[in-house]
Amino acid sequence: MANYFASNLKYLREKQGLSQNKLAEKVGVNQTTIARWETEEIKPSIDNVEQIASALNVSLPDLLITNLKFDNGSIIDVETDTVQIPVLGIIKAGIAIEAQQDILEYIDIPKAWTRGGKSFYGLQISGDSMFPKYENKDIVIFEQTNDYQKANGKDCAVMVNGDDATFKKVFLDNEGMTLQAYNNMYPAMRFNKEQIENKPVRIIGIAKEKRTRL
């Protein structure tokens, strides 16, 4: 559990818009201590962990284990009326989702999701750019769409080159698009309107649900 504390602390602090100084005031320590906790230079005491959880208004499991919160979707009961969708290892540019060949397996989703002609596919996450919200080998289910406005502020599969899709959080503004990782070791990807048009940069899915296997 200790392996996840530093990443979860930083993620939860930033999600709530707290600076290290502000959180330090709430916990009763100095800013340097918060910084050293987030870089795993030192480890907090049990009392510190409880104080942090209280200051962030989260449970201890949220702070100590892999962050399983998912902002875009909701928890559902698995229904007996299901359909199968493919889980892809990668997505090749220029090929429709339904024609992709890199299929790892098929998984069930509720048939109700497909009402109104909605289509879904799964993607197995590779790498740690979206950690701690998503881990390597998590399966994320995407609603297939190319709607940029609908994708704004969401975790999306985005085609950005001639090879594969990338999985990032999408932010739109008047000048273009930013693709942001959750792991701050990965720089944001920025595209202006001309690049979006000419590359092209295309939204190909919005994350609906993730599935983590033990």
Q: Is residue 71 in a domain? A: no
Q: Is residue 198 in a domain? A: yes
Please tell me whether residues 133 and 205 are part of one structural domain.
yes
Please tell me whether residues 88 and 180 are part of one structural domain.
yes
Would you say 30 and 23 are in contact if contact means Cβ atoms under 8 Å apart? no
Q: What residue numbers bound the domain in which 124 lies?
A: 82-211
3-class secondary structure, 62: helix
Q: Is residue 6 in a domain? A: yes
Please tell me whether residues 106 and 202 are part of one structural domain.
yes
The pLDDT, as a whole number, for residue 65 is 67
pLDDT digits (tens, 9 = 90+) for 21-38: 999 999 999 999 999 998
Please tell me whether residues 50 and 10 are part of one structural domain.
yes
Please tell me whether residues 116 and 205 are part of one structural domain.
yes
3-class secondary structure, 203: strand
Q: Is residue 75 in a domain? A: no
Q: Is residue 69 in a domain? A: no
Count of Cβ atoms closer than 10 Å to residue 79 Cβ: 12
pLDDT digits (tens, 9 = 90+) for 34-67: 999 988 888 888 888 889 989 998 887 777 765 4
Please tell me whether residues 25 and 107 are part of one structural domain.
no
CA distances from residue 148 to 9, 63, 118, 160 in whole angstroms, order as listed: 31, 33, 16, 14
Mean pLDDT calculated for residue range 201-212 = 92
Q: What is the number of domains present in the chain? A: 2
The three state secondary structure string of 78-112 is CCCCEEEEEEECCCCCCCCHHHCCCEEEEEEEEHH
Compute the CA torsion angle 20, 31, 181, 60 (nearest 10 deg).
Answer: -80
Q: Is the pTM of this model over 0.85?
A: no
User: What is the CATH classification number for the domain harbouring 23?
Assistant: 1.10.260.40
Please tell me whether residues 49 and 90 are part of one structural domain.
no
User: What is the CATH classification number for the domain harbouring 139?
Assistant: 2.10.109.10
Compute the distance between CA of residue 80 and CA of residue 123 in angstroms, rounded to an integer: 23
